[in-house]
């Protein structure tokens, strides 16, 4: 990140070298104020973020039920995770959900953003409208979707004679996850549309005009010009979407509550339930440590793969 910031053309850029010297002088005269500015934040962050993370790591080596006495059990929590069917099911469900939702959200958001960036009327009103889902609490609008899936959709399906959907999809073990995906995509697309619109606005109009003169069709123009130029935005949206969807929680609670059975139980829901209600505090913190490693791995791999596609002007 520091490298990227440095390459940015800033106002101080031309005089960077002499400026650096002056800056050093300047801050050497009043370094104490800068330390006081960061000190409280560092202490609070350490106490409420780093310390809990370290304690979580320590508890992952214990058999603590979340209260009372506990003992160190070495790596046995981690070993047990490997053969736990419920854990494996939660990971499989979460991966499946996150991958499908990430792809759908980005394809849909990019499509809508291109549409909103084209020559349409009432552009600002439509733009504002498409952002509305992001204003709403996932949990609250999730309950509305729950009712739609459980009651309205079967009524519509049976009126149309679609047998498969005439019962609630949320009661069907193999279909319930679709409901979670629909809610997640509906809600997350709003934010990604705005990010893609911001990206599309950085593409100069002249390039399109030049391409149009060369006879490039809209589809070709999009894939050869627009998409490579906004690939940076595509990368950030893909990485952030996947990271957020891997941690899915509110959606599950509102739509399926993990059911039917435990078929839509995500990793976060499992950690919450096992850790707070199931007396598996130590065990689920071990699960959370594994989860951390998974998220970092996914993000790094994704960044590597996606950044290779990026092009700059």
Contacts with 273 (C-beta within 8 Å, 6 or more apart), sequence order: 258, 265
In whole angstroms, the minimum distance from the beta carbon of 175 to another protein comes to 19
Least separation in angstroms between CB 36 and another protein:
9
Closest separation in Å from C-beta 271 to another protein: 4
Least distance between another protein and beta carbon 42 (Å): 7
Of 174 and 251, CB closest to another protein: 251
CB of 129 to another protein, least distance (A): 5
Q: Considering the complex, state which of residue 23 and residue 88 has its C-beta at the smaller distance from another protein.
A: 23
Cβ proximity to another protein: between 114 and 176 the closer is: 114
> CB-wise, 146 or 177, nearer to another protein?
146
Burial of 194 (0-12, 13-18, 19+ CB in 10 A): middle
Nearer to another protein, 33 or 82 (CB): 33
CB 255 within 8 A of CB 265: no
Phi, psi of 62 (to 5 degrees): -120, 170
């Amino acid at each position: 990140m520091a490298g990227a910031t440095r390459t940015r053309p800033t106002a101080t850029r031309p005089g960077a070298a002499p400026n650096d010297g002056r800056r050093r002088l300047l801050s050497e005269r009043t370094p104490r104020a800068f330390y006081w500015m960061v000190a409280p934040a560092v202490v609070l962050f350490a106490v409420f973020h780093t310390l809990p993370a370290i304690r979580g790591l320590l508890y992952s080596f214990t058999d603590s039920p979340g209260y009372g006495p506990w003992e160190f059990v070495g790596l046995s929590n981690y070993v047990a995770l490997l053969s736990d069917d419920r854990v494996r099911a939660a990971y499989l469900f979460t991966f499946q959900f996150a991958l499908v939702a990430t792809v759908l959200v980005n394809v849909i958001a990019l499509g809508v953003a291109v549409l909103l960036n084209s020559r349409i009327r009432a552009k600002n009103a439509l733009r504002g409208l498409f952002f509305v889902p992001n204003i709403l609490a996932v949990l609250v609008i999730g309950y509305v979707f729950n009712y739609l899936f459980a009651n309205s959709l079967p009524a519509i399906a049976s009126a149309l004679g679609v047998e498969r959907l005439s019962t609630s999809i949320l009661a069907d073990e193999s279909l319930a996850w679709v409901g979670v995906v629909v809610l997640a995509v509906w809600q997350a697309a709003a934010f990604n549309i705005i990010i893609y619109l911001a990206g599309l606005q950085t593409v100069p109009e002249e390039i399109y005009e030049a391409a149009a003169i060369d006879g490039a069709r809209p589809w070709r123009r999009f894939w050869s010009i627009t998409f490579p130029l906004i690939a940076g935005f595509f990368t950030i949206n893909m990485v952030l979407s996947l990271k957020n969807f891997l941690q899915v929680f509110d959606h599950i609670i509102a739509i399926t509550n993990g059911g039917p059975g435990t078929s839509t139980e995500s990793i976060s829901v499992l950690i919450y339930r096992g850790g707070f209600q199931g007396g598996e505090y130590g065990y689920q913190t071990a699960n959370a440590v594994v989860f951390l490693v998974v998220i970092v791995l996914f993000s790094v791999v994704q960044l590597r793969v996606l950044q290779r596609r990026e092009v700059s002007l």
